[in-house]
Structure 1
Amino acid sequence: MRLMWRYTKRYKGLLALNFIFVFGFILIELGLPTLLGQLIDHGVAPKNPAEVYHFGLWMVLINLIGLVGLIGLAYTGSKLSTNIIRDMRDDIFEQVTHFSHETYGEFGVSSLITRTTNDAFQVMTFLQMVFRTGFMTPLMFIASGVMIVRTARDLAGVVFLAVPVLLIGVAVIGYFSEPMSTRQQKNLDWVNLTLREMLSGIRVIRAFVREKFFGDHFEDANRAYTKSSISLYTLMALAQPGFSFIFNIVFVIILWLGALQINAGQMEIGALIAFIEYIFHVLFSFMLFASVFMMYPRAAVSAKRIDALLQVKNTVTENPNGITTTTTHGELAFDQVTFAYPGHSESPILRDVSFTAHAGQTVAFVGSTGSGKSTLIQLIPRFFDVNEGTILVDGHPVYDYNLKALRAKIGYIPQKAVLFSGSIRENLQYGDKTASDESLWEALRIAEAADFVRELPEQLDTVLSEGGSNLSGGQKQRLAIARALVRKPEIYIFDDSFSALDYATDARLRQNLAATTSDKLVLIVAQRVGTIMHADTIVVLDEGHVVATGTHKELLKTSPIYAAIAASQLSEEELAQ
């Protein structure tokens, strides 16, 4: 509830207006029965047309006031709830964009999506109910109770005897619905996870003819969600007929006792009609309150899941007052860096890694699978933070930088080329949103992508599908490289970014890069020795340790590990060069 109140109090003006309209609605709901009773007793029964017109006009006036109150209540309730959820989703998105890779792993993408969509929707539905009826029902209940006691004190006891029974029913439903709601939302996470895996891996699933396996897996998740939903909704559905049954018993008893009093001359017909209306408002208000109360456990579960996101302390902390400019550019140093993934501190991926690199150099990293190459370069833009040691960029520890300023120095091209839905131009301008078409075409030329982009019907305005699935792997890699070139960073990081290119395209692209990045620091992780054999320095990694550094020719003589890797890929003539 604290989460919802934290957002609600941002709109104190709308909240106050909501209260005003609540009173307007109560006026019509309680004013009409009172006037109706007066109209019957003083106008209809004695056959007095003047009194009928008098009370009739007042009823019309109150109806108009109540209509304004009802419309205003609907408007303020909807605006409050939608604004609150909009703010909540904005904050979730802002929080998630700053999550470290570790935190993403803790929650999982599917759960993050569920919390942003379905959980937020559950909270919004609850808030709409609160703003439309939650504030109104206690006031209506109290006001109707007062009118009941004033109208027929001896009959009021029948109504109030039913209230404890109703309260017990509401408490029981609230008690059982919270754990049911928790299971339902977790099962929805499972459904989303299964569906996301199936959609993202559909080609592999088809290639291995595993459609039935995934179909069964999805059916298990779907059945679990269906079962938990049926249990919850059945519990909620039982409330309505249960409450209606109690209401009907109360009405029957009141009508019977009221008829006896009218027959004895102790009560007038108009008073009984007004009394029945008041009873209806008491019980109806209670039913609305019960609906709000029964919805609360579901909303509370969703609010807790959202709050858990918003309260996460990122493991990669921002430094808003950190360094934004430096006098040197393109300098990098690792000083005895040790890093282990969270939860695996006893088995570090990198151990005591030290090396230096300077602007104008090309530094390559090679090693067997799992040796820590990609992990090493991901530490530079602080995708993870090291456990021990220091990483220096342009002479300053990476922790001392403003995070945006640090990453602005770096052009990172990951192993898997990531493109976004939209045009090629929009994707390239992720590097620099102000880049001209001339700059974009130059970047495409260097990345050996200009020819195939020119052949597309819309060229730069060609729309890419989600993930760039309408392009080949090599085309996506070249566009990702072009995007980094548009940025013109001080440090280029190529994380096995040439793997989908043929040898000829790879050679031409590297030749173009050499001319363009001659005054920049270029870091390359590659599996193919042919891609990095002309690097100024090659760093050989083995089980997280730096076991050798040097040029290609030097390492062939001094590093058995590098020599073995080179021998497995190069011919004898190439090794002899």
Structure 2
Amino acid sequence: MKTMWHYAMRQKGLLALNFICVFGFVIIELGLPTLLAKMLDVGIVNNDFEYIKKIGGYMIVTIAVGIFLYLSLAIVGARLNTRLVQQMRDDMMENIQRFSHQEYEKIGMSSLITRTTNDAFQVMTFMGMILRTGFVTPIMFVMSIVMIVRTSPSLTTFVIGALPFLLLGILFIAKRSEPLSTKQQKNLDNINMILRENLTGLRVIRAFVNEKFEEKRFDEVNTNYADSSKRLFKLMATAQPAFFLLFNLVMVLVIWFGSIQIDAGSLEVGNLIAFIEYIFHALFSFLMFSSVFMMYPRAAVSARRVQEVLDMEPAIKNPENGVKETQTNGVLAFNNVSFAYPGNSESPVIRQVSFEANPGETVAFIGSTGSGKSTLIQLIPRFYDVTRGSITIDGVDVRDYDLSALRQKIGYIPQKALLFSGTIEDNLKYGKPDATEEEMREALDIAQATEFVSQKEKGLDEPISEGGSNFSGGQKQRLAIARALIRKPAIYVFDDSFSALDYKTDATLRARLKHETTESTVLIVAQRVSTIMHADKIVVLNEGEVIGIGTHKELLQTCPIYYDIASSQLSEEELA
């Protein structure tokens, strides 16, 4: 509830207006039966037509004002509720953007999507209920009880006697619904996870003819979600008939004993009708409030999951007064760097790595699969923090940089090229928002992407599907490279970014890069020796340790593992 009220209190003006509409609506709702009682007991009994007309006029005005206040309550509540959930999602997204890989792995991608969409929606639904009825019903109930006691204290006993049964029913349902709601949301996380895996891995599933297996797997989690939902909805569904049974029983008793009192002359007909109206408002308000109360456990589960995202502190923190500018530009040094993934500190994947890279140099990394190449370069932009040692850029520890300033120095091209939905121009400007068309054309030309972009019907305005699915692997890699080139950063990081290119394109692109990056530091992770054999320095990794540093020719003579890798890919003439 704290989470929900935190966001509601941000809209104090709308909240105050909502309260005003609530009070006005309640007074009018309870005023109508009072006016009706006077019309019956005074106007009709005394055959006073003028009095009847006057009270009838008051009732028409009351109804008109009531309709206006009810519509205002609905409009104000809807506006307040939508702003509330909008701000909640904005705050979640802002915090998610600050997460490191550790937080993503802890919560899970599918769960983050569920929390941002479905959980926020559950909170919105509950707050909508609170704003429409949650404020109205307690006030209506209290004022109705006051009017009931004033009208006929003797008949009040039946209403008061029904309240403990209603309260016990609400508490029972609330207690049973919370664990069911928790289970339901976890099952929804599993549905999103499997659906996400199915959609992204569709080609693999078809290639291995595992459609039936995936259908069965999805059906299992979907059935679990359906079962938990059925149990929750059955619990909610049984509440309303039980409450209405009790409600009708009270009404029967009131009418029965009220008619006896009318016959005895101790109660007037108008007062009995007004009393019935008050009872209706009191019990119906209690019933509506119980619905809100029963929804609370489900909303509380969602709010708790949302709050977990909002409260989670990223492991990679942006330092206060972090360094934003340095005198040199692109001098990189690894100083006895070791790294272990969080929770696995006894098994570091990088051990005692030291090397330097200066502007104008190309430093390459090669090694067997799992040797730690990609992990090593992900430490530079602080996707992870080193466990021991330090990484410095221009003499400053990367942990002392302002994160934006640090990453602004780096042009990162990931192992798996990722394009965003939009156009080619949108994706290029992701690297530099104010890039001119000339700069974009130049970046595409260096990345060897000009030919296929010019063949597109709309050129730079060519739409890109989600994940770049309407482009080939090689085209996506070249566009990703162009996106980094357009920034003209101090350090380029190519994480096996040439793997989808043919040898000719690879060679041409690297030649252009050599010419364009003379003032930048270039780091290349590669599996192909031909991609890195002309690098100024090659770092050979094996099981997280540096086992050789030197040029291609030097390593062929001094590093057996590098020689084995090279001999498996190059001809004897190239090895000579």
Normalising by the smaller structure, the TM-score range is over 0.9
Asked if 1:15 corresponds to 2:51, the answer is no
How many pairs are equivalent? 576
Tell me the alpha carbon deviations over residues 309-357 of structure 1, each in whole angstroms, 9 at most, x when there is no partner.
1111110011242111111001000011110011211110001111111
Partners of 1:12 and 1:446 in 2: how far apart?
55
Q: What residue number does 1:100 align with? A: 100
* TM-score (ref. length: structure 2): 0.99
Aligned partner of 1:80: which letter? L
Partners of 1:519 and 1:307 in 2: how far apart?
46
Q: What residue number does 1:546 align with? A: 546
- The equivalences for 1:70-89 within 5 A come to 70-89=70-89
Q: What residue number does 1:170 align with? A: 170
Aligned partner of 1:321: which letter? N
Aligned partner of 1:437: which letter? E
- The equivalences for 1:164-563 within 5 A come to 164-563=164-563
Aligned partner of 1:48: which letter? D
Tell me the alpha carbon deviations over residues 347-403 of structure 1, each in whole angstroms, 9 at most, x when there is no partner.
100011111110000000011111100000000000000111100011100011100
- The equivalences for 1:135-174 within 5 A come to 135-174=135-174
Partners of 1:382 and 1:527 in 2: how far apart?
24
What is the deviation of 1:46? 2.5
Aligned partner of 2:288: which letter? L
- The equivalences for 1:1-80 within 5 A come to 1-80=1-80
Q: Which moved more, 1:288-297 or 1:259-268?
A: 259-268
Aligned partner of 1:241: which letter? P
Partners of 1:69 and 1:458 in 2: how far apart?
54
Is the 8 Å Cα contact of residues 23 and 69 (structure 1) preserved in structure 2?
A: no
Is the 8 Å Cα contact of residues 365 and 541 (structure 1) preserved in structure 2?
A: yes
Partners of 1:474 and 1:90 in 2: how far apart?
35
Misfit runs of 4+, over 6 Å: none
SS at match of 1:346: coil
Tell me the alpha carbon deviations over residues 112-134 of structure 1, each in whole angstroms, 9 at most, x when there is no partner.
00000000000001101111111
Is the 8 Å Cα contact of residues 323 and 402 (structure 1) preserved in structure 2?
A: yes
Is the 8 Å Cα contact of residues 27 and 62 (structure 1) preserved in structure 2?
A: no
Partners of 1:563 and 1:30 in 2: how far apart?
92
5+ residue gaps, structure 2, are none
Q: Which moved more, 1:417-426 or 1:64-73?
A: 64-73
Q: What residue number does 1:121 align with? A: 121
Partners of 1:143 and 1:525 in 2: how far apart?
74
5+ residue gaps, structure 1, are none
Partners of 2:139 and 2:185 in 1: how far apart?
33
Partners of 1:45 and 1:128 in 2: how far apart?
44
What is the deviation of 1:197? 0.4
Partners of 1:255 and 1:92 in 2: how far apart?
54
Partners of 1:428 and 1:113 in 2: how far apart?
27
Tell me the alpha carbon deviations over residues 512-565 of structure 1, each in whole angstroms, 9 at most, x when there is no partner.
101000111000000000000000000011111111100000000000111111
What is the deviation of 1:9? 1.2
What is the deviation of 1:42? 1.0
Aligned partner of 2:305: which letter? R
Is the 8 Å Cα contact of residues 556 and 563 (structure 1) preserved in structure 2?
A: yes
Partners of 1:11 and 1:429 in 2: how far apart?
36
Tell me the alpha carbon deviations over residues 170-197 of structure 1, each in whole angstroms, 9 at most, x when there is no partner.
0000000000000000000011111110
What is the deviation of 1:65? 2.0
Partners of 1:550 and 1:429 in 2: how far apart?
37
Q: What residue number does 2:570 align with? A: 570
Aligned partner of 1:524: which letter? I
Partners of 2:12 and 2:421 in 1: how far apart?
39
Aligned partner of 2:169: which letter? G
Partners of 1:211 and 1:45 in 2: how far apart?
79
Aligned partner of 2:308: which letter? A
Is the 8 Å Cα contact of residues 320 and 403 (structure 1) preserved in structure 2?
A: no
* TM-score (ref. length: structure 1): 0.99
What is the deviation of 1:211? 0.2
SS at match of 1:197: helix
Aligned partner of 2:239: which letter? A
Partners of 1:107 and 1:255 in 2: how far apart?
58
- Identity level (%): 60
Asked if 1:109 corresponds to 2:116, the answer is no
Partners of 1:212 and 1:196 in 2: how far apart?
17
What is the deviation of 1:45? 2.5
SS at match of 2:330: coil
Is the 8 Å Cα contact of residues 421 and 463 (structure 1) preserved in structure 2?
A: yes
Is the 8 Å Cα contact of residues 24 and 68 (structure 1) preserved in structure 2?
A: no
SS at match of 1:87: helix
Aligned partner of 1:328: which letter? T
Partners of 2:117 and 2:125 in 1: how far apart?
12
SS at match of 1:569: coil
- Over aligned residues, Cα RMSD in angstroms? 0.7
Aligned partner of 1:557: which letter? Q
Aligned partner of 2:401: which letter? Y
Partners of 2:139 and 2:571 in 1: how far apart?
88
Partners of 1:24 and 1:438 in 2: how far apart?
64
Q: Which moved more, 1:42-51 or 1:298-307?
A: 42-51
Is the 8 Å Cα contact of residues 415 and 496 (structure 1) preserved in structure 2?
A: yes
SS at match of 1:153: coil
Aligned partner of 1:438: which letter? E
Tell me the alpha carbon deviations over residues 70-99 of structure 1, each in whole angstroms, 9 at most, x when there is no partner.
112112211111111100000000011111
Partners of 1:132 and 1:400 in 2: how far apart?
50
Partners of 2:56 and 2:268 in 1: how far apart?
19
Q: What residue number does 1:132 align with? A: 132
Partners of 1:21 and 1:129 in 2: how far apart?
15
Is the 8 Å Cα contact of residues 408 and 489 (structure 1) preserved in structure 2?
A: yes
